[in-house]
Homo-oligomer: A and B are copies of this chain.
Amino acid sequence: MKKITKTLLTLLVAFASLHAQENISFNKPKEIISPEINADNSVTFRLLAPNATSVAVSGDFLPEGTRNATMTKKKDGIWEFTTDILPSELYTYSFNVDGLQMNDPNNVYYRRDVASTLNVLLVGGGKADTYKVNNVPHGTVAKRWYASPQNDMTRRITIYTPPGYEESNSSYPVLYLLHGMGGDEDAWQTLGRATQIIDNLIAEGKAEPMIIVMPNGNISQTAAPGESDLGFYKPEFMLPKTMDGTYEATFDDIISFVDKNYRTKANKSGRAIAGLSMGGFHSLHISRYHPNTFDYVGLFSAAIMPNPNATSDVYKNIPETLMQQKKNGYKLYWIAIGKDDFLFEANTEFRKMLDDMSFKYQYVETEGGHVWRNWRIYLSEFIPMLFK
């Protein structure tokens, strides 16, 4: 054994150097930290670009109407910009170098939204602490495939089970959480931080332990981009069969799968459905079309208007089925939208229709528009009202 003993240090130096060959981008100057969250919750961005003549940072932390902030060249070719003190939030950003947009090579944390991928950063000390992984019990997040016999498809689905689920014999209520156009079964987890939000709300005693089911609402996809046999293709914003009624009409395939495979409270009082934008549209129609199935409905910035070109039975008799939903009874019908959302007016008119029908709902109006920032807030507010 002595014969083969070398110092571990020698081994590791060799290892790191060879490893660098594999990681063609591994040899970055070590000292660059970007983004750096400063003690006062301002953020400093840095980029090594010695040959650049102009570098800027774009991001949703900038004041509204500001497209980007100019970075300043410091020593050693490092460009820098420090923001104002920022409110607690999960932000996305990218750099612009001599007119070319690029991601931050010193930040390995990304989120994909449709066909663009941006770096993320999280400023804590406020509401975004709910979006963090904290030192609390964590649920399990599973990526599974379920059979949808009505669509003759096997489809990928994200399922969160709460801490303690595996060790208990209890039954749990279920929130069906639906993404918007351009999203998929990963979106609420990656962009929406839904699994962190539920972990944290349960730990704080603000939420009932629940299962969260995040299906793929694009009925022409079996799975999120890169997770199906289509391989690594360039994702598109609009897909065939979008909002044509198929998803809503066959949603009971998902409910059956979940009730069969998990210990659920398999009745109306144990089920909630909510979604953002197209997912709000889906939640509206699924909860109408499958009567007596959901006691809790959440419409987040919902695209509530039916598709006039869709011929599906799902979109027929909307007032009648809403009236039936009212008669059946429900515990919460929750509508939230931002003042700047392009769907604001449509939601106002929809609420007027509900008012005319004496269809009860709760309404929350926030700042801002049609953005994930709002949807994380809505989810954080919606979950504590469920299953109490």
Contact = CB atoms under 8 A, between A and B. Distances in A.
A103 B102 contact: yes
Contacts of A353: 1, 3-4
Interface string A89-103: 000101001111111
6 contacts: A23-B118, A24-B60, A50-B99, A140-B142, A141-B142, A142-B143
Given A100-B97, A116-B25, A319-B1, A8 B52 contact: no
A58 B134 contact: no
A140 B5 CA distance: 42
Given A22-B372, A342-B18, A370-B22, A51 B115 contact: no
A241 interface: no
A49 to B, nearest CB: 5
Contacts of A144: 140, 166
A388 interface: no
- Best-surrounded residue of A58, A105, A154 (most CB of chain B within 10 A): A105
Contacts of A218: none
Interface of A: 1, 3-8, 11-12, 14-16, 18-19, 21-26, 28, 33, 49-52, 58-60, 92, 94, 97-103, 105-110, 112-118, 120-122, 124, 132-135, 137-138, 140-145, 154, 156, 163, 166, 181-182, 223, 225-229, 231-232, 234-235, 237-238, 243, 261, 277, 303-310, 318-319, 341-343, 346, 349-350, 353, 369-372
Contacts of A1: 318-319, 353
Nearest to A349: B4
A285 B319 CA distance: 68
